[in-house]
Structure 1
Amino acid sequence: MESPDNLQSRWDRVVILRGWAHVYYAFDVGLAIHLDEADRRATSRKGRAQVQSRKRPTKYFEFVPAPVRLARTCAEFEAAPGSKTLNTVDALLFDFGAISVHFKIPIEGNFLNAVHLSAALYDHPGLRGHARDVVEQLVREIGPAVSKPRIADHVEDYNIFQVEEFLPEIPVARLLSEYPGALSGLLRADANPLSQEEVQDVVSHRISYGQTDLTLVDWNCALIFDTDADDIRAVLEFTNVALLEFSYLDGQMDAALDEFYEYFAKTRTGLSRARFRSFLPELKKISQFQIDSAILFEGVTNALKLFGDVFLARLYRLSAKRLGLADWDASINRKLRTVESIYEKISDMESTRRMEILEWIIIALIAVSIGISFIPGTMH
């Protein structure tokens, strides 16, 4: 592997003739979005998002149900010196309550400029706020189409750099062997030279369909060398949305578990008045939370269908691994089981409470009947 200085000097002579920086922000805006109603209410240019590859025979690649894609005009935003977003923005509405906002920034010139742009886009507060403004306006526009509307504070962002043409032309085979340092710098949003271990970690997570395309996937950014990559970007965008929903649901479950444990603690207060009060409202709240969580979890995990497209299935597994979806999945399932356990224990205690009350009622009735028998004139 060549030294970073040599790599940088060689990349100074490589020019991007045509390319794009695709910037995605995913928001959770409510329990669910009724897509037909949102489609009817939206005033911007719209359609249902399904992607068909022009390069590969795709048997089955679709979202179920198909998200609503909206395109609207907005003010340009200078994300970095000399790099502005287009005056249009796309928004993808998913039925499980998520909206993904997509900005495009044209890139050209020295490749190192793209590396600096990647560093500028990392956790960019201004562009994130611009995306939130778009989402807030959109939620107001579609109104009743959103169930239990509430735009969560948590946001997930993901950047995709797509290079369509270099000058001079560089074969894909040379990209990894001769320029791994610059590729890694862009993906890690760091213009400083990285260690060989970091570089190797970045370039080892890659996928190609043919001999002229290459996709490198990292946890916060991807780099695509291809002219037709709509389907690749769609899979990566969905993975970012899935990460948002999993992390959001995990946070909701942490807060709910703290609250539900307090319910459980109240049922163990001995002979105090709490022993005889009903916990049906708490049980109802827990069961509603279980239903809402299960619907969201299943909606996300079953939204993307990749049957028959081996390449995109491989890409999704790669991106899911880089974003740690399996860890979130395991955490959510573990907490769902904990919620179920708390529900069962409180339910058992509620049943015991009812039986105790019934026993006391029976004892009281027996005592009353015995007492009545000793009152003169009450026995026949």
Structure 2
Amino acid sequence: MKPATPAYVRYERPPVVEPLEALLLDSGERLEGEIKYYDYGVVSVVFQLPFSGDWDNLVHLASRWVWDIDFASRAEPLVKARLNQCTDAMIRPYSRWLSEDYFIFHVSEASGNPPAADVIRDHGFEIAQVVRGDRLRLSAGECNEVLHSQISYYANDVTVIGWNAAFLYDSRAGAETAIQLLEYANSQLLEFRHYDELLTEILDRAYALLEQKTGVFARWRLAKSARNLHTTLLDVAELTEHADNAIKFLSDMFAARLYRLAAAKVGVPDYKELVSRKVKTAEDLYNYMVDQFNQSRAFFLEITVVLILLIELYYLFRGKPM
């Protein structure tokens, strides 16, 4: 058995975990839940449902859950009710929330306990359907594309990761690390999606301000905008650092590789690159706005000096000391 999660992965600041009331679906399924509060502003809700059946049942369940049930709309009222009880712990909460759904289908036992290679060989098409949430059998090419994103540690475990779902064939203890890292990768995706939207709004406002009149006195307004822009950049840098450093891989390169694969599949590097480019653009705008303000201030000082000299010359030629 792979060692338990704490031996491989630890949080810089572990999330606060609480049990959550069970979610009852219209089909009668009862999902047990828990809620996690991360210090970088993300709330994670985990619903679990024990399952027993054959591969066809699992494919049908995956398709129904992925496409037919809106878990985000069901989880949001529960989260809001909890957050209303801890408003003192929140700093500048947002009225509009972003959300991400992710499904993990964990098979801990299979008939005959076959090795992972046999499971992939004999049931690769069903696994691809589960990861895609598709009821129809996928093409061989699409199946290979899905199964390309797999990772194993022992001969009797495998994790297949997709952009919105993952399939785990592992023991309960062995799957703990993968589940934790998939959850963390999705929390990071939410963080960078938020930064992307925030920076887009800030850059739009900055561009609109720069498109206005650019007279000497109009440039004085840039000082406040530049200061607000710089404050936002500092906030983004601080929160990004919190998100990036929230989890540590102590001694296991497998956990690090699993996280990189999970992050790549859900889109964390893509959004992180977008945020980095927009931060660079915002920094360039900040420097430009500061330069414009400095030019206006220098011009004002020059005008002031000229006026003082003119006043002195006026009194000098009139023969009256100032």
**What code does the residue aligned with 1:346 have?**
M
Deviations 1:225-252 (A, max 9, x none): 1222222110110011111111221121
After superposition, the Cα gap between the structure-2 partners of 1:126 and 1:59, relative to the gap in structure 1 and judged at 3 Å, is closer
- Cα distance, 1:285 vs. partner? 0.8
- Given candidates 6, 9, 23, the residue that maps to 1:76 is 23
Q: Which residue of 1 aligns with 2:253?
A: 310
Deviations 1:77-135 (A, max 9, x none): 217x353312xx21111111111111112212232222222222225564211211122
1:359 paired to 2:306? no
**RMSD value over aligned CA atoms?**
2.2
Contact 2:216–2:296 at 8 Å: present in 1 too? no
Contact 2:18–2:36 at 8 Å: present in 1 too? yes
Q: Which residue of 2 aligns with 1:231?
A: 177
TM-score (normalised: structure 2): 0.92
Q: Which residue of 1 aligns with 2:278?
A: 335
Separation in 2, partners of 1:285, 1:112:
56
- Cα distance, 1:212 vs. partner? 1.5
Deviations 1:37-67 (A, max 9, x none): xxxxxxxxxxxxxxxx863697552111221
Q: Which residue of 2 aligns with 1:256?
A: 202
Q: Which residue of 1 aligns with 2:115?
A: 171
Contact 2:4–2:177 at 8 Å: present in 1 too? no
- Given candidates 332, 342, 345, the residue that maps to 2:288 is 345
Separation in 2, partners of 1:105, 1:58:
24
Contact 2:116–2:158 at 8 Å: present in 1 too? yes
Q: Which residue of 2 aligns with 1:39?
A: none
- Given candidates 103, 106, 113, the residue that maps to 2:50 is 106
**What code does the residue aligned with 2:296 have?**
R
The more displaced of 166-175 and 146-155 is: 166-175
Give the secondary structure class of the aligned counterpart of 1:165. Answer: coil
Give the secondary structure class of the aligned counterpart of 1:131. Answer: helix
The more displaced of 316-325 and 105-114 is: 105-114
Contact 2:159–2:169 at 8 Å: present in 1 too? yes
After superposition, the Cα gap between the structure-2 partners of 1:211 and 1:125, relative to the gap in structure 1 and judged at 3 Å, is closer
- Cα distance, 1:138 vs. partner? 1.8
Written as runs of structure 1 = structure 2, the 5 A alignment for 1:51-66 is 55=3, 60-66=8-14
**What code does the residue aligned with 2:17 have?**
R
Separation in 1, partners of 2:164, 2:281:
31
Written as runs of structure 1 = structure 2, the 5 A alignment for 1:1-380 is 55=3, 60-72=8-20, 74-78=21-25, 81=27, 83-86=29-32, 89-122=33-66, 126-167=70-111, 169-227=113-171, 228=173, 229-266=175-212, 269-271=213-215, 273-275=217-219, 277-375=220-318, 378-379=320-321
Separation in 1, partners of 2:95, 2:140:
41
- Cα distance, 1:374 vs. partner? 4.3
After superposition, the Cα gap between the structure-2 partners of 1:56 and 1:138, relative to the gap in structure 1 and judged at 3 Å, is closer
Separation in 2, partners of 1:161, 1:218:
11
After superposition, the Cα gap between the structure-2 partners of 1:132 and 1:330, relative to the gap in structure 1 and judged at 3 Å, is same
**What code does the residue aligned with 1:173 have?**
A
After superposition, the Cα gap between the structure-2 partners of 1:333 and 1:271, relative to the gap in structure 1 and judged at 3 Å, is closer
Higher helix share: 2
Deviations 1:12-35 (A, max 9, x none): xxxxxxxxxxxxxxxxxxxxxxxx
**What code does the residue aligned with 1:343 have?**
Y
After superposition, the Cα gap between the structure-2 partners of 1:230 and 1:106, relative to the gap in structure 1 and judged at 3 Å, is same
Count of matched residue positions in the alignment of Structure 1 and Structure 2: 320
Separation in 2, partners of 1:284, 1:149:
22
Give the secondary structure class of the aligned counterpart of 2:188. Answer: helix
After superposition, the Cα gap between the structure-2 partners of 1:235 and 1:190, relative to the gap in structure 1 and judged at 3 Å, is same
Separation in 1, partners of 2:221, 2:69:
47
The more displaced of 179-188 and 147-156 is: 147-156
* Unaligned ranges ≥5, structure 1: 1-52
**What code does the residue aligned with 1:183 have?**
I
Separation in 2, partners of 1:356, 1:347:
14
TM-score (normalised: structure 1): 0.79
Separation in 1, partners of 2:270, 2:250:
23
**What code does the residue aligned with 1:332 have?**
V
Give the secondary structure class of the aligned counterpart of 2:134. Answer: coil
Separation in 1, partners of 2:252, 2:89:
33
Give the secondary structure class of the aligned counterpart of 1:100. Answer: strand
**What code does the residue aligned with 1:367 have?**
L
Higher strand share: 1
Separation in 1, partners of 2:4, 2:253:
10
* Unaligned ranges ≥5, structure 2: none
